[in-house]
Amino acid sequence: MAASTAVAPVATRGKSPRRKTKLGWNLLGLLVFVTAGFPVYWMLNTAFKPAKDAIDPNPHLFPTHFTLDNFRRALQIGDFWGAIGRSLTVSVVVVVIGIAVGLLAALAISRFAFRGRKIVIVGILAVQMVPLVAMIIPVFLLLNDLGQYDKLSGLIITYLTFILPFTVWTLRGFIVNVPKELEEAAMVDGCTRTGAFIRVVFPLLAPGMVATSVYGFIQAWNEYLYALMLMSQNHQTATVWLSSFTTQHGTEYAPMMAGSTMMAVPIVILFLLVQRKMAAGLTAGAVKG
Amino acid sequence: MSAAETTTAKVPPTRRDPQPGAGSKEPGKPGKKRGTGGGAAVPWALLAPCLLVLALVLGYPLVRLVTLSFQKFGQPQLWGFQAAESVGLDNFTNVLGDAEFWRVVVRTILFAASAVVLTMVIGMLVALLLQRVSGWVKTLINVALVASWGMPIVVAITIFKWMFDSDYGVLNWLLSQLPGVDVTGHNWFISSTQGLAVIMVLVVWGAVPFVVITLSAGLTQVPKELEEAARLDGAGSWGVFRHVTLPILKPIVVMLATLSVIWDMGVFPQVFVMRGGHPEPEYQLLTTYSYDKAFVVNDYSQGSAIALLTVLLLLGVIAVYMRQMLKIGDVE
């Protein structure tokens, strides 16, 4: 980069000030990149370095030795695979229920004009705003009464509180983006309304539904508070498992970062795959309005 | 649902069978004859499962939250040794009469407000910067943003705990490399101001990506001609931003700011996990305070009263957001 600044003024006199500003912006951009990415980098860096290097008062910014020992250690702590299995079960079931029920509701509020529609929309949005923490006490008592405390089914029920409103709202965004005219055209050609939906809208909606499912899955997977409160030590989920590295004897940071890596990397990859689509769905109509 | 099913005879039954009823609404007179009743039945049938689930998982607990906050409900009531008795407004007068509560309220509002302002300002600056950098820098920034956005919160907290570790944290080491600075062995959490600042950095770090990516999407929709016209009329960069870009982005900005308020008022695991499950009094925010009252002191009704007051505090913000969302909902 230093070279290009040196060359630029000589080669093209007229363009040099613009190039210089571009270079300035780029340097600033790189600073943003480093700042935003550093925590992630530091997790990976610690995860792959020998545990004794992690507690060196002069940390190495770049890895010198590469080891998988921390991952081995992380897998021994707590019930890793059990926790992963429980997280997977809960997240998948919640998403399946959420999508099945949410799609119907999203259709209703995006394709039908009916009395009470606004109230329903406001209601669905409002419940999305209630902080989970505010609900924890009554939810705890409810599950206690129903005998669902410390059960995966109980956790699934509680996760629906935040997955369902979210699913309805995002699916609505995706449905709205499918032009009504397509459906109407199919109906003119003799399709019933259901037929038009299944043959025309549904295929166009599929990517949005996949994105919503993945996003919902990630949200359920990442939930911490309910998982902590409603499940005992023996039935903890992946997020709560992550705290097993801290004991009275201190925290094993290097294996903890290995554990974090195992938890985060698959999620981040999933997230990378769908985030563009999600941003589109979440903001559907926000700008044009 | 069953009402709608009767109208579906002519189509193969699918899992989405309530919809066909809508078919009868549009083409024929017979459908019209069923009139508003038949037309409205379909959307309501579609909504029914969703509303039913929400009523169970959200409605009931919400009602319980309200009733709890007017009752005396502790350990004996939880185990069923004693019936919960109504105590009127006692819980609220207790909470509102407690100086500690007001300190927590002020702390929470200050924390949330600073976090939201920081998130929005940094988010806007980065979004604007993204428009000016070269393609490869843009890609790098986007990758970093999406990676930090997708990070599970608990993982992010864990990483920050590690980076800010007093003995082996990389931050102390990095800062000590600066000339004249020596923070070796500095414990950021001894002082709650510094500790909460660290937690705020964590919250902002996690929240900025969503803001940047949403604002960037919005910025691509700002007509270039408008900006150029303003520039020709002699507006500087700030003028163009203030009078052209910002007004166009306003709906998105309002939406993002309101969402941020709600999220930042609801910060819980960040404080809870950072403080090892036992936040000190100077670290309490409304969420952890309510949790503490309920599950540490075992006073579920006071915890509920605090939670309810938090929700009421948020309602003002939600009202603004709701109007925005309804507007969006209408433009279709």
Closest-CA distance, B214 to chain A, in angstroms, reads 6
pLDDT of residue B15: 39
pLDDT of residue B31: 38
pLDDT of residue A1: 41
Higher pLDDT, B79 or B141: B141
End-to-end CA distance of chain A: 43
- Integer Cα distance of A26 and A19 in angstroms: 10
- Integer Cα distance of A40 and A239 in angstroms: 17
Using an 8 Å CB-CB cutoff, list chain B residues near A100: 15, 49
Closest-CA distance, B148 to chain A, in angstroms, reads 7
Cβ neighbours around B248 below 10 Å, total: 17
pLDDT of residue A176: 85
**Which residues, in sequence order, are bridge partners of residue B71?**
B86
Question: What's the token pair of residue B5?
Answer: 């099913």
End-to-end CA distance of chain B: 27
Using CA atoms, how far residue B152 sits from A214, B123, B227, B267, in Å, is 14, 20, 39, 14
Using an 8 Å CB-CB cutoff, list chain A residues near B44: 108, 114, 116
Residue A180's Cβ-side half-sphere holds a number of Cα atoms within 13 Å equal to 6
Contact B329, A121 (CB under 8 A): yes
* Percent share of chain B, pLDDT over 70: 84
Burial of B280 (0-12, 13-18, 19+ CB in 10 A): exposed
pLDDT confidence tier of residue B5, bands split at 50, 70 and 90: very low
Give per-residue burial for B108-122: e unless 16+ CB within 10 Å, then b: beebbebbbebbbeb
pLDDT confidence tier of residue B4, bands split at 50, 70 and 90: very low
Taking alpha carbons only, the member of B323, B260, B331, B191 closest to residue A177 is B331
Radius of gyration for chain B, computed over Cα atoms and rounded to the nearest angstrom: 26
Which residues, numbered 130 to 189 in chain B, qualify as contacts with chain A under a Cβ-Cβ cut-off of 8 Å? 130, 132-134, 137-138, 140-141, 143-156, 158-163, 165, 167-168, 170, 173, 184
Closest-CA distance, B137 to chain A, in angstroms, reads 6
Question: What's the token pair of residue A249?
Answer: 């004897």
Mean pLDDT, chain A, rounded, equals 84
B289 touches chain A (CB under 8 A): no
Q: What is the pTM of this model?
A: 0.83
Mutate to test the interface with A, among B125, B328, B331 (most CBs of A within 10 A): B328
Residue bearing tokens 């003119």: A188
Q: What is the DSSP letter of B299?
A: -
Classify the phi-psi angles of A214: left when phi > 0, otherwise alpha if psi is within -120 to 50, otherwise beta. alpha
B282-298 average pLDDT score: 92
Who contacts A1 (Cβ-Cβ below 8 Å, separation ≥6)? A23, A26
pLDDT of residue A78: 83
Highest mean pLDDT among A125-134, A271-280, B125-134, B239-248: B125-134
- Integer Cα distance of A115 and B315 in angstroms: 24
Cross-chain Cβ contact A32/B129 below 8 Å:
yes
Question: What's the token pair of residue B218?
Answer: 């919005």
pLDDT of residue B3: 38
Taking alpha carbons only, the member of A128, A106, A127 closest to residue A117 is A106
pLDDT of residue A16: 67
Cross-chain Cβ contact B43/A112 below 8 Å:
yes
CA angle in degrees (0–180, nearest 5) for B196-B197-B200 = 85
Reply yes or no on whether the pLDDT at B144 is more than 90: yes
Write the pLDDT tens digit of every residue in B178-221: 888 888 889 999 999 999 999 999 999 999 998 998 899 888 88
Residue A150's Cβ-side half-sphere holds a number of Cα atoms within 13 Å equal to 4
Residue bearing tokens 């500790």: B195
pLDDT in tens, chain A (289 residues): 444 444 444 444 555 677 778 899 999 999 999 999 999 999 999 999 988 888 877 788 887 888 999 999 999 888 899 999 999 999 999 999 999 999 999 999 888 888 888 888 888 877 777 777 788 889 988 898 888 899 999 999 999 988 999 899 889 888 888 888 888 888 888 888 888 888 888 888 888 899 899 989 989 999 998 999 899 888 999 999 988 887 777 788 899 999 999 989 888 888 888 877 776 666 554 433 2
Residue A273's Cβ-side half-sphere holds a number of Cα atoms within 13 Å equal to 14
pLDDT of residue B26: 41
B41-70 average pLDDT score: 90
3-state secondary structure of B72: strand
Reply yes or no on whether the pLDDT at B113 is more than 80: yes
Which residues, numbered 64 to 93 in chain A, qualify as contacts with chain B under a Cβ-Cβ cut-off of 8 Å? none
pLDDT of residue B159: 94
Write the pLDDT tens digit of every residue in B209-223: 989 988 998 888 888
Question: What's the token pair of residue B114?
Answer: 């600073």
CA angle in degrees (0–180, nearest 5) for B220-B222-B224 = 95
Radius of gyration for chain A, computed over Cα atoms and rounded to the nearest angstrom: 25
* Percent share of chain B, pLDDT over 90: 44
pLDDT of residue B324: 67
Taking alpha carbons only, the member of A81, A83, A101 closest to residue A91 is A83
**Helix or strand run (H / E) with residue B172:** helix B170-177
Who contacts B298 (Cβ-Cβ below 8 Å, separation ≥6)? B74, B75, B78
